[in-house]
DNA sequence: TTGCAAAGTGTAATAATTACACAACATGTT
DNA sequence: AACATGTTGTGTAATTATTACACTTTGCAA
């Protein structure tokens, strides 16, 4: 049995994307009073867990991510460490700990990881009924300091997406340029001229058109594209040129 | 008396700049065998210390930074958390701990901070004889995983310097355009055309020329400039436009 | 007075970015 | 069968940013 380190955890902000925008994978947390049955806590948290003894941060984050998504090999990046004294010490969290204390410290330092997944690969409803995608621009009530953690993750995502082609991690393997444009628009909160956007993408040799079209749409079907990391690595130039 | 948290520390990479390039502030660490007097360890470390109970990460970093520089209000930014299992468990570090163990865990998670100081404000020789500026491109032997930490700090500095006007933190209050250009050249490892660089800086309203010139130089003295954060905050545009 | 070393300055060529409108197409509806 | 709908796919001209490049000025030291 793995022993947890009582004062160190990882928290993983899992981003997904679909036609209605950018999402975060959250778990519903409920606590009801054993005597009265009253709902003491009913909020949401990102997924996280204490680091095990003898485990390093990245492994702990991968483990945590696997537990909620059932997937391995997904994009995962450490982005910030959170260590404020109050982060697990609000009244609500004291209450939570009083019912769930498993030898956990009252000052837990948590290392935040940011993960990007193709949301079509996850069917959260099946495996964990308490897990769901929530829109980043309309989050429910969150536990701990998870609002702050998500905000910081989003900030990092916005930065990173302009510097590296990580947007593709959020798209299905085959995607249309419209999907790609919508993704970038909703991450960056801007809108692009369609022709200029396409011109720009056209220059990216690593975004490769397929001989395949959308099906079952009530309009002219769009061509599908794939991203080639391989071509990207070979042709990338050291420049902040992903700003679109 | 403050009690330390045995498994959590902060490490602070302090960067400075002078005419010979970019520097890191390092402390010489020596350990001699109490019996034989033999030098068991003679290397360098960045400055760091365990977090105290009830203290948060930023405060711990500020405290640590003050201890080595004697300065407050300096640029300080968290950049990465290090938690590999081996980081304090090499033969050398086991040896160090066997002589200096103050209730320290054998798996210490360290949060890396990056600090930028005007090196003219620090006279390391006076206060601590064991502290000195070392060139980043020619580092001595380093303890713990500090080589990796410095590398990561440098990577972050290179990124950040293109996105925000933090370079000025490394310059004296009044500086010449040549100093500024040399700073950017040595951080980014490139060289700029002098006229184009000046043209670019000319557009930055927050780099303000003074009615003051260099003195005591054996050539045409250069005009001095200051950076105004105030003007910057007012005029900044959301764009990755600091790439020069 | 002369030599030295760095400061300070402008222009033309090239490349990148922006703004903008219409025909083609697959489907669902009448 | 014809039509309505909604989205795809495409080019050009104007503007702006980037690059490459050479000579005169200045203050001090010898």
Is residue B10 a part of any domain in this protein?
yes
Task: Say how many CB pairs under 8 Å bridge A and B.
Answer: 62
In which region does residue A175 sit, left (phi positive, over 0), alpha (psi from -120 to 50) or beta (all else)?
beta
Is residue B242 a part of any domain in this protein?
no
Q: How does strand A131-135 pair with strand A21-32?
A: antiparallel
What is the distance between the alpha carbons of residues B66 and B50, in angstroms, rounded to a whole number? 14
Same domain, B153 and B187: no
For residue B68, CA distances in Å to A227, B122, B138 come to 48, 10, 21
In tens, the pLDDT along A182-193 reads 999 999 999 999
The DSSP string of A62-81 is HHHHHHHH---S-EEEEEEE
Give the sign of the dihedral formed by CA B203, CA B205, CA B206, CA B211: positive
Is residue A67 a part of any domain in this protein?
yes
For all residues of chain A together, what is the average pLDDT?
93
Is residue B131 a part of any domain in this protein?
yes
A84/B56 CB distance under 8 A: yes
Tokens at residue B150, please? 């410095």
CA–C1' gap, A222 and D9, in angstroms: 9
Is residue B140 a part of any domain in this protein?
yes
CA–C1' gap, B4 and D18, in angstroms: 54
pLDDT in tens, chain B (244 residues): 899 999 999 999 999 999 999 999 999 999 999 899 999 999 999 999 999 999 999 999 999 999 999 999 999 999 999 999 999 999 999 999 988 877 789 999 999 999 999 999 987 666 678 999 999 999 999 999 999 999 999 999 999 999 999 999 999 999 999 999 999 999 999 999 999 999 999 999 999 999 999 998 989 999 999 999 999 998 875 444 444 3
Same domain, B19 and B114: yes
- The domain that holds B195 is classified in CATH as 1.10.10.10
Q: How many domains does chain A have?
A: 2
Same domain, B104 and B208: no
What is the distance between the alpha carbons of residues B108 and B111, in angstroms, rounded to a whole number? 10
3-state secondary structure B42-88: EEEECEEEEEECCCCHHHHHHHHHHHHHCCCCCEEEEEEEECCCCCC
B25: number of Cβ within 10 Å: 25
Same domain, B48 and B92: yes
Same domain, B91 and B32: yes
Q: Which nucleotides of C are covered by protein (CB under 7 A)?
A: 3-11, 17-21, 24-28
Domain of A196?
Answer: 171-235
What is the distance between the alpha carbons of residues A204 and A211, in angstroms, rounded to a whole number? 18
The yes-or-no verdict on residue A67 having pLDDT over 90 is yes
At which of A163, A192, A208 does a domain end?
A: A163
Same domain, B26 and B145: yes
Q: Chain A: nearest CA to B92, how far in angstroms?
A: 19
Q: How does strand A47-52 pair with strand A131-135?
A: unpaired
Identify from A85, A109, A189 which residue to disrupt to test chain B contact, counting B C-beta atoms within 10 A and taking the largest count: A109
Same domain, A144 and A186: no
Is residue B224 a part of any domain in this protein?
yes
Same domain, A65 and A175: no
Which residues of B are less than 8 Å from A240 in CB distance? 162, 240, 243
Tokens at residue B85, please? 């299992």
At which of A163, A188, A207 does a domain end?
A: A163
Is residue A133 a part of any domain in this protein?
yes
For residue A97, the SS3 value is: helix
Residues belonging to chain A? 244
Looking at chain A from residue 162 to 181, which residues have their Cβ under 8 Å from any Cβ of chain B?
Answer: 162-163
Same domain, A179 and A141: no
Give the sign of the dihedral formed by CA A35, CA A40, CA A43, CA A48: negative
């Amino acid at each position: 049995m793995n022993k947890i380190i009582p004062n160190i955890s990882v928290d993983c902000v899992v981003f997904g994307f679909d036609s209605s925008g950018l999402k975060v994978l959250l778990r519903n947390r409920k606590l009801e009073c054993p005597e009265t049955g009253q709902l003491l806590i009913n909020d949401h948290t990102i997924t996280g867990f204490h680091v095990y003894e003898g485990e390093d941060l990245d492994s702990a984050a991968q483990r945590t991510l696997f537990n909620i998504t059932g997937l391995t090999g997904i994009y995962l990046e450490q982005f910030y460490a959170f260590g404020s004294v109050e982060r697990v010490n609000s009244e609500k969290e004291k209450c939570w700990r009083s019912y769930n204390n498993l030898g956990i410290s009252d000052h837990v330092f948590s290392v935040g990881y940011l993960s990007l997944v193709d949301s079509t690969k996850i069917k959260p409803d099946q495996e964990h009924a308490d897990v769901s995608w929530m829109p980043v621009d309309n989050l429910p009530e969150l536990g701990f300091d998870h609002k702050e953690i998500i905000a910081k993750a989003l900030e990092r995502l916005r930065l990173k997406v302009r510097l590296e082609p990580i947007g593709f991690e959020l798209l299905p393997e085959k995607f249309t340029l419209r999907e790609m444009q919508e993704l970038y628009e909703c991450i960056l909160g801007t809108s692009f001229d369609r022709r200029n956007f396409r011109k720009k993408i056209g220059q990216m040799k690593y975004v490769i058109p397929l001989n395949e079209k959308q099906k079952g749409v009530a309009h002219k079907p769009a061509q599908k594209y794939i991203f080639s990391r391989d071509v990207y690595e070979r042709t990338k130039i050291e420049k902040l040129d992903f700003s679109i």
